[in-house]
């Protein structure tokens, strides 16, 4: 592209999407995320970058999603999706951060430098799929993205309001036509169609009930489930709440993140004793379950750890049933995984566990090293990925195995089709969970009683600079500021680990800290043998972060 053509980039920016703030913004674990009024110039520039990424990938389609996921409504964000439906390649995150923060005056020259750096063939066609969540700021930001794509002569296609996983799915399908049809309807046809195929062959028995209450977080996931439920033909009775009406605010006191972190049920729902409830997050990529006890006073949480163990154990059973015992199944977690879940996976299920840094891109990459990789963050973000070898082996058994082997293999093939392998997907995960519970005749209590969680607590601390916190060993060790890890170790040693029921080799409680990749805070996690001890340890570690890493504002408390 001649230099004169790049002047269009500068003209668009200056006249329509100028940089009006000096606030530095960084591409984190889920892209850029901050207050929506700081993002318009960033999203425009990500439209530029998406075009360059497409051309570096020989014109394959790139995705651009406008969302702040589980954050509250005043925030928004943007992230890029690579051709296989995966997160943006990590080496491009620094390029994205650089492009987002240069001045308008330097935008033209910086864009030219990046073109040379990534060796983009500007003669190639470029395709960018654009989606957005339900935030009132999303349409304006989506328009900025379109302008960025057009400025570098790329071709944008707008999908309107979709869940983040639907856009990931469509990008994958556009670049791999064997995966599915790159439309929202194509997503329903594959994911929901596979669920119905399985459920029509599974009898409803035991304690399982086809009624499922769903907290939609007043976001897009609930709206899409409202569309889907009309086609379920009675296989699953979805009772939906928090769909955005009646003044409900996105993610405010509802949704997967609220339920997981606060360990409280969402507002806006009718709570029924022992009723199975699923909570989605604002853009539909996280899922947790819970149920209330007999008097509706205590909530029992079934988070990403529980979903991972449920799915992994079921898939392992089916692999054994169809005779595919040589396929390697593994489970990927982060430091946030409850210690009891890790013990159950390794000691009871006999499945290998890999621990990686927080962020679904890290889990996804690690899961690809297995024939069947199950990955979930404790917050409910995760999925299952299958190697080409695994799919080939299972297909062959479905054709050539004996009657029982064929039956198990055919179920697995439908289970694979039900899975959104590109990214964590609350809707796909919900259907997988419901399939397993139905197949086993289990209710939420059966699921919950598989193992006993260690009491835990999460807090967050506002600091002057979250990047003052550095970590190692999959974020389980704090390397800076100096002395903070020693203080965490000292505090943890005063608490029991719960080894009496965990059979742990460790005597002390467990705590770690890490800078958030989505908010301007430092996150604190603690486990101990009682809820009181976990709460106290979390508060003490949070106080240490506040004192040693430049805390600002109110001092941390357990109620945060």
Segment 80-127, tens digit of pLDDT: 999 999 999 999 999 999 999 999 999 999 999 999 999 999 999 999
Least confident piece of the model among 15-24, 167-176, 496-505: 496-505
- The whole-angstrom separation of Cα 422 and Cα 384 is 9
**What strands lie across the sheet with 277-280, from one edge to the other?**
237-241, 211-215, 277-280, 287-292, 299-302
Q: What is the pLDDT of residue 504?
A: 44
Q: Look-up: residue for tokens 């990927």?
A: 332
Least confident piece of the model among 268-277, 384-393, 523-532, 551-560: 551-560
If one compares 209 and 550, the residue with the highest pLDDT of the two is: 209
Q: What is the pLDDT of residue 29?
A: 80
Give the other-Cβ count within 10 Å of 19's Cβ: 22
Q: What is the pLDDT of residue 557?
A: 62
**pLDDT of 5 strictly over 70:** no
If one compares 387 and 245, the residue with the highest pLDDT of the two is: 387
**pLDDT of 475 strictly over 90:** yes
Rg of the Cα atoms in the chain: 23
Q: Where are the domains of the chain?
A: 3-161, 191-301, 304-425+439-448, 456-548
pLDDT band at 507, cuts 50/70/90? low
Q: Look-up: residue for tokens 């009772």?
A: 239
Q: What is the mean pLDDT of residues 468-478?
A: 94
Q: What is the mean pLDDT of residues 444-462?
A: 93
**pLDDT of 266 strictly over 90:** yes
- The whole-angstrom separation of Cα 301 and Cα 176 is 37
Q: What is the mean pLDDT of residues 516-529?
A: 86
Provide the b/e sequence for 382-421 (b: ≥16 CB within 10 Å).
Answer: bbbbbbeebeebbeebbeebeeebebbbbbbbbbbbbbbb
The two tokens of residue 428 are 């796909």
Whole-prediction pTM: 0.92
- The whole-angstrom separation of Cα 438 and Cα 167 is 29
Q: What is the CATH number of domain 304-425+439-448?
A: 3.40.120.10
Q: What is the mean pLDDT of residues 126-135?
A: 98
Dihedral sign for Cα atoms in the order 30, 35, 39, 43: positive
Q: What is the pLDDT of residue 560?
A: 41
Q: Look-up: residue for tokens 């679904």?
A: 360
Q: What is the pLDDT of residue 503?
A: 44
Beta bridge partners of 80: 64
Q: Let me know if domain 456-548 sits in CATH 3.30.310.50.
A: yes
Mean confidence (pLDDT) of the chain: 93
**pLDDT of 499 strictly over 60:** no
Yes or no: say if 257 and 379 are a contact pair by the CB < 8 Å rule.
Answer: yes
Q: Is 69 known to be catalytic?
A: yes
Classify burial at 14, counting beta carbons within 10 Å of its beta carbon; exposed 0-12, middle 13-18, buried 19 or more: middle
Where do runs of H (alpha helix) occur along 119-183? 138-151, 164-175
**pLDDT of 498 strictly over 50:** yes
Q: Which fold has domain 3-161?
A: Alpha-D-Glucose-1,6-Bisphosphate; Chain A, domain 3 (3.40.120)
- Cα–Cα distances (Å) from 206 to 203, 233, 394, 432, 443, in that order, read 10, 21, 29, 18, 8
Q: What is the pLDDT of residue 558?
A: 54
- The whole-angstrom separation of Cα 541 and Cα 310 is 32
Residue 286's nearest CA partner among 249, 315, 260, 250 is 260
Domains 3-161 and 304-425+439-448 alike in fold: yes
Beta bridge partners of 160: 131
Q: What is the pLDDT of residue 4?
A: 53
Q: What is the mean pLDDT of residues 165-185?
A: 98
Q: What is the mean pLDDT of residues 524-547?
A: 94
Q: What is the pLDDT of residue 559?
A: 43
Q: What is the mean pLDDT of residues 543-552?
A: 88
Q: Which of 69, 127, 341, 428 is catalytic?
A: 69
- The whole-angstrom separation of Cα 541 and Cα 511 is 8
Q: What is the mean pLDDT of residues 328-332?
A: 97
Q: Which fold has domain 191-301?
A: Alpha-D-Glucose-1,6-Bisphosphate; Chain A, domain 3 (3.40.120)
Q: What is the DSSP letter of 314?
A: H
**pLDDT of 502 strictly over 50:** no
């Amino acid at each position: 592209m001649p230099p004169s053509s790049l002047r269009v980039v500068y003209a668009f920016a200056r006249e329509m999407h100028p940089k009006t703030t000096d606030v530095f913004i960084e591409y984190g674990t889920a892209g850029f995320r901050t207050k929506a009024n700081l993002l318009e110039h960033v999203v425009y520039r990500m439209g530029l970058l998406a075009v360059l990424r497409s051309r570096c990938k020989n014109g394959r389609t790139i995705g651009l999603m406008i969302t702040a996921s589980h954050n509250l409504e005043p925030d928004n964000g943007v992230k890029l999706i690579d051709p296989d439906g995966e997160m943006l390649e990590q080496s491009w995150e620094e390029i994205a951060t650089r492009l987002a923060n240069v001045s308008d005056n330097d935008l033209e020259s910086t864009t030219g430098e990046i073109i040379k750096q990534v060796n983009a063939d500007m003669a190639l066609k470029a395709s960018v799929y654009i989606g957005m969540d339900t935030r009132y700021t999303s349409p304006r930001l989506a328009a900025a993205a379109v302008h960025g794509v057009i400025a570098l002569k790329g071709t944008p296609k707008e999908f309107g309001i979709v869940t983040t996983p639907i856009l990931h799915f469509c990008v994958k399908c556009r670049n791999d036509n064997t995966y599915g049809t790159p439309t929202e309807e194509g997503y329903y046809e594959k994911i929901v169609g596979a669920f119905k195929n399985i459920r029509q062959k599974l009898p409803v028995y035991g304690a399982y009930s086809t009624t499922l209450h769903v907290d939609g977080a007043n976001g897009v996931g609930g709206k899409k489930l409202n569309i889907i439920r009309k086609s379920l033909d009675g296989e699953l009775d979805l009772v939906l709440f928090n769909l955005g009406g009646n003044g409900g605010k996105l993610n405010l006191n509802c949704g997967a993140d609220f339920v997981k972190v606060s360990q409280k049920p969402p507002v806006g729902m009718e709570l029924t004793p022992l009723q199975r409830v699923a909570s989605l997050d604002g853009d539909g990529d996280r899922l947790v379950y819970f149920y209330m006890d007999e008097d509706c006073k205590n909530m029992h949480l079934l988070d990403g750890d529980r979903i991972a163990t449920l799915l992994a154990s079921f898939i392992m059973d089916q692999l054994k049933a169809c005779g595919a015992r040589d396929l390697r199944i593994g489970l990927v977690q982060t430091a946030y995984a409850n210690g009891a879940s890790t013990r159950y996976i390794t000691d009871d299920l006999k499945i290998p566990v890999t621990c990686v840094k927080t962020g679904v891109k890290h889990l996804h990459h690690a899961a690809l090293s297995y024939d069947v990789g199950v990955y979930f963050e404790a917050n409910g973000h995760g999925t299952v990925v299958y190697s080409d070898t695994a799919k080939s082996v299972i297909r062959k058994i479905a054709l050539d195995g004996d009657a029982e082997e064929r039956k198990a293999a055919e179920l697995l093939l439908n289970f694979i089709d039900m899975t959104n392998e590109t990214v964590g997907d609350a809707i796909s995960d919900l259907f997988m969970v419901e399939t397993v519970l139905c197949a086993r005749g289990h209710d939420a209590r059966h699921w919950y009683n598989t193992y006993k969680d260690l009491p835990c607590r999460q807090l967050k601390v506002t600091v002057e600079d979250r990047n003052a916190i550095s970590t190692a060993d999959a974020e389980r060790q704090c390397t800076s500021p100096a002395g903070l890890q020693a203080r965490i170790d000292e505090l943890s040693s005063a608490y029991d680990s719960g080894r009496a029921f965990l059979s742990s080799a460790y005597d002390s409680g467990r705590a770690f800290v890490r800078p958030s990749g989505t908010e301007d805070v430092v996150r604190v996690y603690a486990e101990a043998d009682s809820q009181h001890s976990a709460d106290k340890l979390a508060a003490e570690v949070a106080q240490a972060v506040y004192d040693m890493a430049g805390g600002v504002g109110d001092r941390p408390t357990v109620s945060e």
